[in-house]
Each structure stands twice: as C-alpha cells, then as structure tokens.
Amino acid sequence: MLLELDDVRVHYGKVEALKGVSLTVEEGEIVSLIGANGAGKSTTLKTISGLRKVSSGHVRFAGEDIGHMPGHRRVERGICQAPEGRGIFPGMSVVENLEMGAYARRGSVRGDTEDDFDRVFQLFPALADRKSQTGGTLSGGEQQMLAIGRALMARPRLLLLDEPSMGLAPKLVSQIFEIITEINGQGTTILVVEQNAAQALARAHRAYVLETGRIVKSAPARSLLEDDDVRAAYLGGRIGT
C-alpha cells in the first residue's frame, strides 16, 4: 500500500471538514475522489500534501506516518500535488516554473533535469513552444498542463491532481485525462479529485465518493459509473460528458 488515510479528521477552526476519512491508494493505481462542492475533496488532497494539518487520524505513505510532516518534506518523500486553480507561478517562465518542480530534488541529489524536461515536453508539446513565455500569459489549458508538468518534475511516486478539468473546454478535458492515463502508464500512482465525475470514473481504477466530509462509497470506478445513486447525483443531467 502506497498511501493510507486512517480515520482522518481535519478542522477549519471549529468546522469539521473531514469527519473520519479512510482511504487507500495502491502502487500503480489511478484512484479518483469524486463529490460535490464542499464535500472535502480538496481538503483531503491538502491533508495528504501537507497544506492542512490533521486533527486526528493517520496519513501513512509507504509505511511511514507523515500526518505531521511539513509539506516540503513530503515532496522529498515522493508526494507532489498540482494544486487547484493551477497555482502556477505567473511571473516565472514555463522553464522556470518547471525548474521549481525539481526544487526539492536538487537539494539532495543534484541530478540533471534534462530527462525530466524532455518527458514533460513530450507529454505536453504545447509547452515546448512556450518555454520562455511567463506562466501568467498562458491559456487556461496550458496553465493546467504546466501545473501537471511541474509536479512531474519532482519525479513523484504519488501524483495528486486537484480538479485538473476545472474551467477547461470539453475537448481539452478528455485530452488532459488521456495524458493522465499516459503518466500512470509510465509508472506514477495518481490520486485525482474531480467534479467531472464521468471522465474521472472512466479513467480511474478505483474511486471514492465523498459527501460532507465522509466517504460514502468506495468501489471499482467502472461499477460506480453504473451505480444508480452516483448516476443520479454526479452524472445525471450532465449532457455531452
């Protein structure tokens, strides 16, 4: 087991955002976490990447309890997140943004990053044409690609994606998910949070449904696509996706 959340509770002040979330991610999987706005999806990811502190419960990564480790250390352990709303560095060029992705790695290994640049530009050829353009001038889709590419520069064992389809045109959404599948094929484990449940379920191996801070369903992604409750709540009424 690569990642395990065990009865994790997280508070924003007095409000309990996660009310005992337990989930696991096995090496090599794509696991998606779906749920409505405010269900606690982003909070779950932030708890794994270290932006949020757990109130109680355990976060274990590769057997180690990382629940109280600061975020920048978790990157060294092999967890990297592409943040919600892209969170790229607007004043840095595409190349500088990608270099930031390798920031933690250079600290210890000082290995060259050329292979990683090649890999990112292969996955996202659009970025290769914009190397010296600053992040703020990219389109929404390009920014999303940059955010994912930047996270890959850390050579993560576990890649966390927060709403990769947010604000993107439908065609771009399926393209992004194709690339996510490809990254997974190259050996990176992925945990993806999505409101676009149709895409997320079609691409994932397993999925969890989160409602108001609790996991209410966990099953192979395909079977959730057929699940009546899930269809009604997250897939119903969506046309064309």
Partner 1 sequence: MNRLQIPDVRGSLSRSWERLPRWGRFAVYVLLLVGAVLLPADSIGRIMAPESDWKSILFFPIGVYVLLAVGLNIVVGEAGLLDLGYVAFFAIGGYAMALLGTEQGWSFWVILPTAIAMAAVAGVILGAPTLRLRGDYLAIVTLGFGEIIRITANNSNWMGGPRGIAGIPHPPNVGHVSQLQYGVIDPKPYYYLVLALLVIVIVVVQRLKHSRVGRAWMAIREDEDAAELMGVPTFKFKLWAFAIGASIGGAGGVMFASKVIAITPSNFPFILSVLILAAVVMGGSGNIAGVILGAFLVAWLPERFRGFADYRVLVFGGALVVLMIFRPQGLLPSRQRAEEMTEGQGGMGSMGAETAAET
Contacting positions for partner 1 (CB under 8 A): 37, 49-51, 70-72, 75-76, 80-81, 83-85, 87-92, 96, 99-101, 103-107, 134-137, 150-151, 154, 166-167
**CB nearer partner 1, residue 23 or residue 104:** 104
Q: Is 64 buried (19+), middle (13-18) or exposed (0-12) by CB count in 10 A?
A: exposed
Residue 220 C-beta: closest distance to partner 1, Å? 28
**CB nearer partner 1, residue 122 or residue 139:** 139
CB atoms within 10 A of CB 222: 14
Residue 191 C-beta: closest distance to partner 1, Å? 14
Residue 101 C-beta: closest distance to partner 1, Å? 6
What distance in Å separates the CA atoms of residue 45 and residue 58, rounded to the nearest whole number? 14
What distance in Å separates the CA atoms of residue 132 and residue 95, rounded to the nearest whole number? 6
Q: How many residues does the chain have?
A: 241
Rg (CA), the chain: 17
**CB nearer partner 1, residue 15 or residue 125:** 15
**CB nearer partner 1, residue 4 or residue 163:** 163
Residue 218 C-beta: closest distance to partner 1, Å? 25
Residue 169 C-beta: closest distance to partner 1, Å? 15
**CB nearer partner 1, residue 92 or residue 216:** 92
Decide if 181 contacts 20 (C-beta within 8 A). no
Q: In what order do the strands lie in the sheet with 206-211?
A: 79-82, 158-162, 189-194, 30-35, 206-211, 214-220
